[in-house]
Structure 1
Amino acid sequence: MGALQGAALTLGALIGTGIISLPALAAEAAGPASLVAWGAMLLVSVAFAAAFTALGSRFPDGGGVTTYVRRAFGDSASTAVGWAFYLTIPLGAPTAAGFAAHYVSDALGRGRGTALLVAALIIALVAAVNWFGIEASARSQLVIAAVLAALLVLVIVLALPHARSGNLTPFAPHGTGGVAEAAGILLWAFVGWEIMASLSGRYHSPGRDIARAAATALVVVSVLYVGIAFCTVAVLGPDPGPAPLSDLLVVALGESARPAMSVVAVLLTVATINTYFAGAAELGASLARDGSLPAWLAVRSGPGGVPRRALAVVPVLGLVTIAVMAVVGLDTDATLLVATATFGLTYLAATAAAVRLLEGWGRVAGVVSVLASAGLVAVTGWRVLVPMGIGLLGVLWTRSRSP
């Protein structure tokens, strides 16, 4: 794929479903000063982008994060991170799909059962697209990203005339502590670089295209996030409510516009899961190639060398997770904190590898990213023990197979 397709996939990973709720959560924590937290987190995202771009350009490989960790810290560390990351994506997929599924379910006047069914359909749809390879996935993502960006820009343009300067005072009602709390919340808005690392080997010219894709996606994400964040504070005031995008549309167009959020939610969800499934397929095949997973997962099919076996594991386990949720009465957000703990741990391992492998500005970006990643891990608490346990099982499995 080229830089444009890579930028679309990166945008899908970065923008995420958090844009629907995080601006409101940050505003509740810090008031208008949440805009300061947004600025700080954008700088952190620049550091993440710089570190992962440098690593991907230097070591383009489907293993992504696990390749960097293997080079920096050895096979056991790579296997542990790889197992945790690869096997947690199926746990996180129902949570991401469930976000849009609940919007659809609510719009239809249905309950949890309908939400679980819609989540399963989204996972199956994205898996079907990725079955035909990165080219099909990237082309579909380019269309989704363009439509999604246009819709979000439309929300910003329609809402801005309703901004009121009075909503920006007092600027920091909760002081610096509120800004720090908002920054911690917003860390979740800037994950996604880790899965793009597994697609670094699929670029036509990794040394050139990865940097272009990262820069393009970062600029677009910054404009969209800052625009929505400013409108949330300046238009909706100190109590924006849990769904600011819906409220902004209602302010601009009236109550009849609220159902349009279901379309935005579905597009956000499909874009995110599409990127993660594409990256997970490459990650699983690369781990199998390196002996960290069963060798049969490394088999590729078709002229494009699609890792269909490694891909199939992810949606199948995702659908099994949804089935278990249906049987035991859990909602789709039941696995949220376990998934985020895994992503935090993956970031910490990858950025630590950047500090060890890179030089100059790449290493500086790695240091900043390590500190931010440590914050991600810390806020997940005891749940980080789950991916650590999965990683330990991976190490024990590989050692049991050693001669």
Structure 2
Amino acid sequence: MTSNQPATRAAPQRHGGTLGLGQGTALYIGSVLGTGILVLPGLAASAAGPASIIAVAAVLVLSIPLAGTFAALAARYPDAGGVASFVRRALGGTAARMTGYWFYFGVCVGAPVLAILGGEYVVAVLGVDRAAVPVIGFAVFVPPFIANWFGVRVAGWVQFALTGLLLTVVVGVVAVTFPAVDASNFEPFLPNGWAGVGLAISLFVWAFAGWEVGTHIAGEFKNPRRTIPLATGIAIVVVGAGYLALQAVTVAVLGDRAGDGQAPLVDLVETTLPGVGPVFVAIIAAIVTFGVMNAYLPAFGKLGAALGRDGDLPKFFAKGAADGEIPRRSLALTGVLIVVYFGLMLLNNLDLTGFILIHTSNMVAIYALGMVAATLLLERWSLDWWLAVVATIMTAGLLVLAGANLVVPLVLAVAAVLVTVVRRWRRGPADVAAAPVDLEREPEPALVATNATSRQDTE
């Protein structure tokens, strides 16, 4: 099922949600303006020098059609499954399984990165040996894991407050460091050529990931058709301005030293506000890192349980998939994955760049399939459809930039295909021939309801 007429029509709008424009905008900003600001300005400046500003602008431009397409999908097809549900509708179960594997096993690579970021900032302020970073990083990871194991969740408004603190840090850092700007630091502008800009773009995908958040909670908005696009537009402006300003002052103030330190925000504030400034930044960084980890762990837990429920992981992990249940078995598997990734990071001398690139390559793969699905689901030749077409082309460009880092998502894609082959082999050729539909492309209940409503509208 791809582009048949009932599927392209918008699902009936529900207005029982509670999220308004203010809360929705805060949610989008909180999802995109995350821990990337703690390290990416320095890494991008190291990769591309002053031209890293071009990289930020390029990813911001990509965000406009990408975020617009996700807003259109969320407004028309509100479903908690998010990107995977759109992929299943348009491309079938195997492609949806790829999407799930990319997130659960691939995006999870970013979890130890978050923990190390918190450790780096604490160590930078305390002035202790960097050997303490893994210990502090692991300590940052443990409390949210224990909290989620026992079903304790930080309230949504607390998550918003944490994001507000991070946004305050961005504004504050830019304001207090602006007097130290040195125009000579912008020369040479392209020290590592355009290849360095390409690397910086791949890194900054981490910073701008999160536009798909509205697809999971579209039903919680009072008026999703109106509110989601507005909230998305406001968030693009705020997040884009924040990252561009922060990247500019990082280059203008630190120059060649931008990529030397492990805590670039601390290095920035130290130039004009020594003492209390770095301590404030480090405390906020640790708190926000905790909040982001607390938000991601339940997502990984529920996704792993859902994969077990659907047969994409062993059924053992399915326990806890239902609403209100705690997916402890899936959380345990998530913990094992994070510990393994943590160990690999230690063997790599805590170099975050490779792990961030693996994380972003999986995100780009998810986005690429999501955009292809959007071109099949949205009404052809409409503005939203054109946004999806542009986003598909641009994400294809990001796939090219990802290069060798696509090995991980390719391996996970092969695993998803093998699951399909094994399932069909176990069914046997007779069962497959007798099946009225391709079981790997069976429509979701939400789409069946949409089609039924469409038929009623035409009768």
Q: Which bracket does the TM-score occupy, shorter chain normalised? A: 0.7 to 0.9
Post-superposition offset of 1:93? 0.8
Given the two structures, how large is their TM-score scaled by the length of structure 2?
0.73
What code does the residue aligned with 2:318 have?
Answer: L
**Equivalences for residues 31-50 of structure 1 within 5 A:** 32-50=50-68
Per-residue displacement from partner, 1:16-47 (whole Å, max 9, x unpaired)? 33323433444456555543443332221112
CA contact (8 A) 1:21 1:242 kept: no
**What do the CA deviations read for 1:60-83 (whole angstroms, capped 9, x no partner)?**
323222111111111111112212
Q: Quick check: 2:300–2:334 contact (8 Å CA) kept in 1?
A: no
1:225 match: secondary structure: helix
Structure 1 partner of 2:111:
93
Once structures 1 and 2 are overlaid, which stretch shifts more, 366-375 or 221-230?
366-375
Cα distance change on mapping 1:34 and 1:252 into 2, 3 Å: same
1:350 aligns with 2:367: no
What is the SS of the residue equivalent to 2:258? coil
Compute the displacement of 1:264 (Å).
3.9
Q: Which has the larger radius of gyration?
A: 2
Match of 1:270 in 2: 290
Name which of 109, 126, 130 aligns with 2:128.
Answer: 109
Paired residue for 1:373, among 387, 395, 405?
395
Structure 1 position 258 matched with structure 2 position 278: yes
1:120 is matched with 138
CA distance in 2, matches of 1:204, 1:170: 48
Q: 1:41 to 1:336 in 2, by over 3 A?
A: closer
Q: Which moved more, 1:217-226 or 1:28-37?
A: 28-37
Root mean square deviation, CA, Å: 3.7
The answer to whether residue 336 in structure 2 is matched with residue 317 in structure 1 is yes
Separation in 2, partners of 1:108, 1:174: 32
Task: Pick closer, same or farther for the CA change 1:34–1:373 going to 2, 3 Å.
Answer: same
352-361 vs 264-273, which deviates more?
264-273
Secondary structure class of the residue paired with 1:136: coil
Structure 2 unmatched ranges of 5 or more: 1-17, 428-459
| Equivalent residue, structure 1, for 2:430 | none
CA contact (8 A) 1:47 1:366 kept: yes
Give 3-state SS (helix, strand or coil) of 2:236's partner: helix
CA distance in 2, matches of 1:314, 1:209: 37
> Whole-Å Cα distance in 2 between the matches of residues 269 and 305 of structure 1?
25
Q: Partner letter of residue 277 of structure 1?
A: L
Q: How many residues align?
A: 399
Counterpart CA distance in 1 for 2:411 and 2:71 is 29
String of CA shifts for 1:118-166, please: whole Å, max 9, x gaps.
Answer: 3333233334555687973522211201111112211111122333455
Aligned partner letter, 1:72: A
Offset, 1:309: 4.2
Partner of 2:171: 153
What residue ranges of structure 1 are gaps of 5+ in the alignment?
Answer: none
Q: Is the 8 A contact 1:98 1:119 kept in 2?
A: yes
CA contact (8 A) 1:26 1:185 kept: yes
Q: Which moved more, 1:369-378 or 1:315-324?
A: 315-324
Alpha-carbon distance in 2 for matches of 1:41, 1:186: 7
Give TM-score, length-normalised by structure 1: 0.81
Shift of 1:172: 6.4
The offset of 1:357, in angstroms, is 1.6
Q: Deviations over 1:267-315 (max 9, x none)?
A: 44334434433443453454455553455636456xx635534762464
- Which range moved further: 101-110 or 340-349? 101-110
